[in-house]
Amino acid sequence: MITTSVTEAAECLQQGQVLAYPTEAVWGLGCDPFNEQAFQKILELKQRPIEKGVILLAGHISQVEHLLTSLPQTTQQEIIDCWTNHQPSERATTWLLPAGEHIPSWIKGEHPLVAVRVTTHPLCVALCNAFHGFIVSTSANPSGQEPAHSLQDACQYFGSQLNYLNGDLGQSQQAESLTLLPERLFAPNFKQKKAQLYRDN
């Protein structure tokens, strides 16, 4: 299915289907993060190992603010300010945040953190709001290939294996940046150098 309806696209996600959609800079693949079968479908489409984490994309801070509660107040405010003051033309910022027990193991991969981004892309905001929560976001391409930059690119990669929400890319010319929290906020045995596993490829 190819649609321009955010409502139809959100219904696809709620029904456990995989959706391709435009994000700030490239096309992404998304699903309900709590539906393991849908998530496994994304891994199959991308030929990507489960050990690599994915990004959770939210349309509003309220959808992910529960992931900030274990952090110092000053750090919480820094993250909120970063997302709140973000301009559509700026590079999107993804934060690695502590993943609570309510985040499924298949989302976290082998990590104690989860990658989270609050988007300003209008279509993504509308999609998350229609879905009533954050969704999975990973670039729309088989692992090792260039991310799709158009509906045509995405269709060439995946054909009829998934659904498509057609629309425009955002104004950002670059993929998101990944921001790490200070290591002092985590257990001593945690190595943030593993964060590169979240790089979207």
Please state, in angstroms and rounded to a whole number, the distance separating the CA atoms of residues 161 and 36. Answer: 17
- Which helix (H) or strand (E) segment holds residue 105: the answer is helix 105-108
Q: Residue type for 115, please? A: A
Residues facing residue 93 across a β-bridge: 177
Contact status, residue 187 vs residue 112, Cβ threshold 8 Å = yes
Q: Could you report the per-residue pLDDT of 157-186, keeping only the tens digit for each?
A: 999 999 999 999 887 555 555 555 554 444
- Looking at residue 198, what is its pLDDT? 44
Q: What is the set of domains in the chain, with CATH numbers?
A: 37-146+171-196 (3.90.870.10)
Tokens found for residue 190: 């945690």
Q: Which of 201, 157, 190 is nearest to 52 (CA)?
A: 201
Tokens found for residue 195: 């964060």
Please state, in angstroms and rounded to a whole number, the distance separating the CA atoms of residues 175 and 80. Answer: 20
Residues facing residue 132 across a β-bridge: none
Identify the DSSP state of 195: G
- Looking at residue 140, what is its pLDDT? 93
Q: Could you report the per-residue pLDDT of 129-142, keeping only the tens digit for each?
A: 999 999 999 999 99
pLDDT at 117 over 60: yes
Q: What predicted TM-score, i.e. pTM, was given to this entire model? A: 0.82
- Looking at residue 52, what is its pLDDT? 67
Identify the DSSP state of 73: H
3-state helix, strand, coil in the chain (%, to 5): 35, 20, 45
Task: Give the E-state strand segments of the chain in sequence order.
Answer: 2-3, 19-22, 27-30, 55-58, 93-98, 113-118, 135-139, 163-165, 177-179
